[in-house]
Chain A
Amino acid sequence: MRFKRGIATRIQRFFLGFALLMSAVFSVLILGYSWVIEDNIFNRLVEREAAFIADQYAKTGMVVAPRPAFMTLYDSWDQMPDPIPRQHRADPNRIEFDDAVDGTIHTRQVDLGPTTAVLAANVSGYEVSRDYLPTVSLWLLLGIALTCALAAWVSSLVAKSAVEPLRRLTDAVAEVGQRDMKPGFARDYPDDEVGFLAETIEASITHLQTVLQRETDFTRDVSHELRTPASVLTLLSNQLETDSDMTPENRKLLQNTVVELNQTISTLLALAREENMDIRETALLPLLEESVIHHFQLSRNDSFDLQIEVPSPVKVRCNAHLATILFNNLLTNAMRYASEPGLRISADDGHLIFENAADGDAPRASGGLGLGLNLAKRVCNRFHWTMRVERTESVFRVRIEFPGG
């Protein structure tokens, strides 16, 4: 499994960035250090010569000329070339001046009894650091490049060795679902944080697989154990339709109860199954059409007036199987409980509405839904739909609201 911003890539980038930053900082420090050393040498030379001139004056009362040719003694700051006097007035402690014409000047005041002279050294001709700057910069850049290349190589090795167990673990976890995780797979990992993670993941997935298997076995067993007697009950209730001494009310009550029992079994099992967690965008109209077509009684009942007014572009997010069970139950209920044989299904402004005629005096079980409001709402909740039941004197309406509708 590959990620756009994987841990290995991030480690490499961090390592490389750090190496680049450190190389650049040290290069700047090297250049700065050379400038400082050079300046200090010049300052010391000027300081010594100033001390020599002052000493000679003290001994002889004579002002001697500076010995090095690149030094000049001025009577005062004002006699120095522009713009040095002005710069000195602005900053009296300054001793180094850059003159565009004369180059770099280092200065030192010389105490000559009643007056103070200024010793100036034009060091432009001796600034080797400036002369060597292009060459040194080139070498420094080469050094940076080499350091970065080395850092990239080392970081690649470090990232690989650090992330490899994690990557194997990621691949193993990604494969779960495609096939079962082999037992004891965590043993292949080192005894460190990754190993601990692998053990925890293995324990969690094993637990999850056990739970899923238990769910599958449970729903399968429940399905068999409940559906088989429910089948017998359904067949018997159908038989009672023709040959029984039951009153019509009791017969209807029995049939409705059997239908509700069947709906409840189907819905509960469908809700319990992991396979029905797969929710995707689905066109609503074909889903409704399929529900009606595969509704055995409804598709063969000519007297039932069914109207579907759902625009074909309407799409909803749901699990098709679970949604079909919900629609199937709503269709069955409308067939069984409507006071007139008919149902209008319409979609309007983010709502799906099931509407049928109702007898105002006859209350419907479970708040109007055969499988019970609770289960219908549970199905709707699974898709983040909201279901409301509305009832007037003559109309029974189930309104399902889709998110964002």
Chain B
Amino acid sequence: MQTLSILIIEDNEDIAARVGDYLQGHGMTIDFAFRADQGIRLALENRYDVVILDLMLPDADGVDVCRQIKGDHPREVPVLMLTARDSLEDKVVGFQAGTDDYLTKPFALEEVLVRCQALARRRNLHQSREIVIGTLSVDRHRRTVSREGRPITLSPTDFDILLAMVEAYPNAVGRHALTQKIWGEDHPDSDVLRSHIYTLRKAVDKPFGSRMIKTIHGVGFRLECDDAL
């Protein structure tokens, strides 16, 4: 697992300590800032993979802090906004300030971990056209797939289905959303999707030791990989 460097800007020390301990327990390097000015200084001076930012800080609004970090930072650093405000207006203001993701309090620590991993992964995606999830590698432009270095041949539809799962990772993609994305409004019956998932599994999972394509019964599909970022 790749070690991520994370800055937590949060005035509530109880929350900051528990989030920090949990992430540290998963091999991440953590820096803390309990005030906005301290957080901005640290974010601009160091190279963090993700900044976890509380929306309400004692000396400044988290939205302004986000704006400053995003505006002055020489390289794009993903910001995960932790907030106790969840109104539509607050979310819109947050995203307009450049927030990459939003997590409403209270939250599960596992979710913070997964979101940090997803943000770091998303930043890597912008930097390279190849998406790597564990041993799976997908090139969006060349439309090629390989696993454990061995090329996998897929039909165009199978590739699109796999790409939808890769883009949604670590979240699942719903069966209905998937059919809409691949076939649009004139989507075929569910047997066709099932048949594509079968051929996809045959190509991506069967020749290898572990299964990556996971079915969430009745809902959709998700890629699963223990050591992925």
Q: What residues of chain A have their CB less than 8 Å away from a CB belonging to chain B?
A: 216, 219-220, 223-228, 230-236, 238-239, 262, 266, 269, 273, 275, 283, 285-286, 288-290, 292-294, 296-297, 299-300, 302, 305-309, 312, 321, 345
Q: Does B12 contact A (CB under 8 A)?
A: yes
Secondary structure type dominating chain A contacts? helix
- Across chains A and B, the number of contacting residue pairs, with CB separation under 8 Å, is 109
Tell whether B85 is near chain A: CB-to-CB under 8 Å: yes
Known A-B contacts A232-B15, A289-B177; the reply to A308 vs B219 at CB < 8 A is yes
Which one of A216, A235, A305 contacts B15 once the chains associate, using CB atoms below 8 Å? A235
Q: Is the CB of B84 within 8 A of A293?
A: no
A390 to B134, CA, bound (A): 46
Instruction: Check B174–A296 contact: CB distance below 8 A.
Output: no
- CB-contact partner of B174 in A220, A230, A239, A290, under 8 A: A290
- B219 engages A230 (CB within 8 Å): no
Cα A231 to Cα B109 with chains together (Å): 10
Known: A220-B90, A223-B86, A269-B86. Contact between A233 and B106, CB under 8 A? yes
Query: Is residue B59 contacting chain A, with contact meaning CB distance below 8 A?
Result: no
**Top-8 shortest CB links A-B:** A289-B174, A308-B218, A227-B84, A234-B106, A231-B106, A227-B105, A224-B84, A231-B105
* B217 contacts partner chain A, Cβ-Cβ < 8 Å: yes
B222 within 8 A of A: yes
List of B residues within 8 angstroms of A305 by Cβ: 217
- Given A231-B106, A292-B216, check contact A286 B172 (CB 8 Å): no
Chain A residue at smallest Cβ distance from B115: A296
| 21 A-B pairs whose Cβ atoms sit less than 8 Å apart in the complex | A216-B87, A226-B84, A227-B104, A227-B106, A230-B105, A232-B14, A232-B18, A235-B15, A238-B108, A273-B87, A285-B176, A286-B176, A286-B180, A289-B177, A292-B219, A293-B171, A293-B174, A299-B172, A299-B222, A306-B217, A312-B176
Chain A residues whose CB sits within 8 angstroms of the CB of B89 once the complex forms: 216, 275
A289 to B180, CA, bound (A): 13
Which residues of B sit under 8 angstroms from A309, Cβ to Cβ? 218
Please pick, from A262, A273, A283, A321, the residue contacting B106 in the complex, using a CB distance under 8 A: A262
For B76, what are the chain A residues with a Cβ–Cβ distance below 8 Å? Answer: none
Contacting residues, chain A, for B180 (C-beta < 8 A): 286
CB contacts (< 8 Å) of B87 on chain A: these are: 216, 219-220, 223, 273, 275
A371 CB, nearest partner CB in chain B, Å: 15
Contacts A220-B87, A292-B216; A286 near B177 (Cβ below 8 A)? yes
- B56 within 8 Å of A by Cβ? yes
Nearest to A261 among chain B residues (CB) is: B106
Q: Is B123 an interface residue (CB 8 A)?
A: no
A387 to chain B, nearest CB (A): 22
Number of chain B residues whose Cβ lies closer than 8 Å to a Cβ of chain A: 37
With A233-B106, A234-B106, A289-B177 known, 18 other A-B pairs at CB within 8 A are: A216-B87, A220-B90, A223-B84, A227-B105, A228-B12, A228-B15, A236-B18, A266-B86, A283-B176, A286-B176, A292-B172, A292-B216, A293-B219, A299-B172, A299-B216, A299-B219, A300-B110, A307-B218
B176: chain A residues within 8 A (beta carbon): 283, 285-286, 289, 312
Q: CB of B33 within 8 A of chain A?
A: no
Q: Which of B56, B88, B107, B174 has the most CB of A within 10 A?
A: B174
Residues of A within 8 A of B12 (CB): 228, 231-232
B85 x A223 contact (CB < 8 A): yes
Please name all residues of chain A whose beta carbon is closer than 8 Å to the beta carbon of B196 when the two chains form the complex. none
Is B173 on the interface with A (CB-CB < 8 A)?
yes
B:164-192 near A, CB below 8 Å:
171-177, 180
User: Nearest Cβ in chain B — how far from A18, in angstroms?
Assistant: 53
What residues of chain B lie closer than 8 Å to A290, measured between beta carbons? 174, 177
A339 to B174, CA, bound (A): 27
Fill in one digit per residue for B98-120: 1 if any A CB lies within 8 Å of its CB, else 0. 00000011111111001000000
Among candidates A223, A224, A227, A238, residue contacting B109 with C-beta atoms closer than 8 Å: A238
**Which residues from B are CB-within-8-Å of A312?**
176
- A299 and B171 within 8 A (CB): yes
Q: Which of B37-95 contact A (CB under 8 A)?
A: 56, 84-90
Task: Provide the residues of chain B in CB contact with A289, threshold 8 Å.
Answer: 174-177, 219-220
**Across the interface, which residues of A come within 8 angstroms of B85, CB to CB?**
220, 223-224
Residue pair B216, A296 in contact (C-beta under 8 Å) = no
- CB closest chain-A residue, reference B54: A228
Cα distance A297–B175 when bound, in Å? 19
Chain B residues lying within 8 Å of A296, measured Cβ to Cβ, are 108, 110-111, 114
How would residues 116 to 141 of chain B score, 1 for a CB under 8 Å from any chain A CB and 0 otherwise? 00000000000000000000000000
How far does the Cβ of B36 sit from chain A's closest Cβ, in whole Å? 16
Q: Which residue of A lies closest to B14 (CB)?
A: A232
